[in-house]
Amino acid sequence: MSTLYALLFIVATLVLVIGLALKIKQYAQTPAPLKIPTTPAPITEAGVVMRLFREVVFFESLFKSTKWTWIFSWMFHMALFAVLLRHLRYFIDDVWLPIELIQPFGKYAGFAMVAGLGGLFLRRIFVDRVRYISAPSDYLWLIILIVIGMSGLMMSFVAHTDIVMVKQFFTGVYTFSWGELPVNFPLIVHLLLVALLMILFPFSKLLHVPGIFFSPSRNQVDNPREKRHLAPWAKALEEQE
């Protein structure tokens, strides 16, 4: 089982890294022939940076749109960020001080993560306009993330897992000398779903994570009168003429 999971995570990591790199390359090469920043928009590049910062960290546009969705979404994403930082200790030998300090917060952030996902799941069921546009995959992603969160909480508060063995396993994967995984049902489920998430991530709508930085409605300066906007392919045609 340990060998199977080691090979699974090696494949999942390759798919995630290569898939994300190809998608980001595709986003970067997609032309934006029109000036379409969502107004009111910044008129300087520094303003665009601040706008993207507020959007990524505080979900500014979602806050202005619907407060309830913003609460659950922001809760989930910030808790997930803390949980991911906490999990770095399983992949490095000398744990950095900031990662050590975040351990207690990351441990209980799992509850906020599951609560936020639960709110987003109920929103898709009980809000008519959201339910109407929801595909089966939308529910499936939320269920997968909820089970990942709940299995992680079970390992921390119900059926404790030997985290030393887990760390030895993952640090050994780098050198193809992994150890044994603990025989623990929540851990097996947790890792299986995480690997599945990694494999499917580059092909899902979860790509809004890197995609927001390439959105013309967010990353463009609102200066159509001051500066003519030309996509790279349009510039090439103009130079040929």
Going residue by residue through the chain (241 aa), what tens digit of pLDDT does each one get?
A: 899 999 999 999 999 999 999 999 999 988 888 888 988 899 999 999 999 999 999 999 999 999 999 999 999 999 999 999 999 999 888 889 999 999 989 889 999 999 999 999 999 999 999 999 999 999 999 999 999 999 999 999 998 889 899 999 999 988 888 889 998 999 999 999 999 999 999 999 888 889 999 999 999 999 888 887 777 777 766 666 6
Tokens of 13: 């990591």
Q: What are the structural domains of the chain?
A: 2-226 (1.20.950.20)
pTM: 0.89
Instruction: Match 């299995």 to its residue by tokens.
Output: 151
> How far, CA to CA in Å, does 209 sit from each of 141, 199, 227, 238?
15, 15, 30, 34
Q: With b meaning 16 or more CB within 10 Å and e meaning fewer, what string describes 41-76? A: bbeeeeebeebbeebeeebeeebeeeeebbbbbbbb
Q: In 3D, which of 57, 105, 52 has the Cα closest to residue 82?
A: 105
